[in-house]
Amino acid sequence: MERRLFSLIFAFSFLLFSGSVFADEIGQHFVHGLASYSQEITLEFASPEEAAAAELTKLEMPIGKKLAVSSRWDDSSREHLLMSRTLAENGWKGTFFLNKCDESYAQDIVSRLVKDGHSIGIHTTRHPHLEQVEPNRMFEEILGNRVMLESVNDLCASTFTFPFGLGRDTEDSLTTAHEQGIALVRAGLLGGPESINMAERLGLKPEQFVSPYRFVANDSDPQLETFEKGWKTGENLIAEGKSTIGPYIALGTHSWQRRVHQDGFERLGNILATKSNLSEIWYCDSNEYTAYRLNFLFAEIKKKSVNGNRAVFVISRIEPQETAAVVDLGVKVSPLPQKALFSHGKILSVNDSGEFMIPNEASQTLPVHIDRIDNPENGPADAETLISTEFPGLKIGSQIDLEKNVLNIVITNETGKTITKVKGHIRLPLKWKGETPLWFVEKIENKSTLKMNVSLGEIESSNRFRKGELFIDNQCDFLVDGEVGRIHSTVTIRETAEN
Ligand SMILES: [Zn+2]
pLDDT at residue number 435: 87
> pLDDT tens-digit profile of 113-122?
999 999 999 9
166 C-alpha vs ligand 1 centroid, how far in Å? Answer: 11
160 C-alpha vs ligand 1 centroid, how far in Å? Answer: 11
CA distance 266 to 381: 54
Q: Which spans in 39-172 are helix H?
A: 48-53, 80-89, 103-105, 111-115, 135-153
Q: Angle at CA 174, nearest 5°, toward 145 and 142?
A: 10
pLDDT at residue number 499: 43
Strand partners, 30: 35
Confidence at 343, pLDDT banded by 50, 70, 90: confident
250 C-alpha vs ligand 1 centroid, how far in Å? Answer: 16
Neighbours of ion ligand 1 (CB under 5 A): 74-75, 163
204 C-alpha vs ligand 1 centroid, how far in Å? Answer: 23
164 C-alpha vs ligand 1 centroid, how far in Å? Answer: 6
pLDDT at residue number 6: 36
421 C-alpha vs ligand 1 centroid, how far in Å? Answer: 37
pLDDT at residue number 202: 98
Read out DSSP for 146-194?
Answer: HHHHHHHHT----BB--TTSPPPP-TT-SS-HHHHHHHHHHTT--B-SS
411 C-alpha vs ligand 1 centroid, how far in Å? Answer: 37
> pLDDT tens-digit profile of 219-273?
999 999 999 999 999 999 999 999 999 999 999 999 999 999 999 999 999 999 9
77 C-alpha vs ligand 1 centroid, how far in Å? Answer: 10
Q: In the predicted model, is pLDDT for residue 13 greater than 90?
A: no
CA distance 234 to 216: 11
163 C-alpha vs ligand 1 centroid, how far in Å? Answer: 4
126 C-alpha vs ligand 1 centroid, how far in Å? Answer: 10
Confidence at 9, pLDDT banded by 50, 70, 90: very low
CA distance 403 to 380: 15
CB burial readout 172-193, b (16+ within 10 A) else e? ebbbbbebbbbbbbbbbbbbbb
74 C-alpha vs ligand 1 centroid, how far in Å? Answer: 5
Q: In the predicted model, is pLDDT for residue 218 greater than 60?
A: yes
> pLDDT tens-digit profile of 93-105?
999 999 999 999 9
Strand partners, 332: 57, 355
385 C-alpha vs ligand 1 centroid, how far in Å? Answer: 35
> pLDDT tens-digit profile of 378-406?
999 999 999 999 999 999 999 999 999 99
141 C-alpha vs ligand 1 centroid, how far in Å? Answer: 13
pLDDT at residue number 345: 85
Sign of the alpha-carbon dihedral angle for 235, 241, 247, 250:
negative
161 C-alpha vs ligand 1 centroid, how far in Å? Answer: 8
96 C-alpha vs ligand 1 centroid, how far in Å? Answer: 10
127 C-alpha vs ligand 1 centroid, how far in Å? Answer: 6
75 C-alpha vs ligand 1 centroid, how far in Å? Answer: 5
The DSSP bridge pattern shows strands 213-215 and 310-318 to be: unpaired
Can you tell me the mean pLDDT for 165-178? 96
254 C-alpha vs ligand 1 centroid, how far in Å? Answer: 8
Mean pLDDT, the chain, rounded, equals: 93
Confidence at 344, pLDDT banded by 50, 70, 90: confident
CA distance 453 to 472: 15
256 C-alpha vs ligand 1 centroid, how far in Å? Answer: 12
489 C-alpha vs ligand 1 centroid, how far in Å? Answer: 27
Confidence at 26, pLDDT banded by 50, 70, 90: low
pLDDT at residue number 28: 74
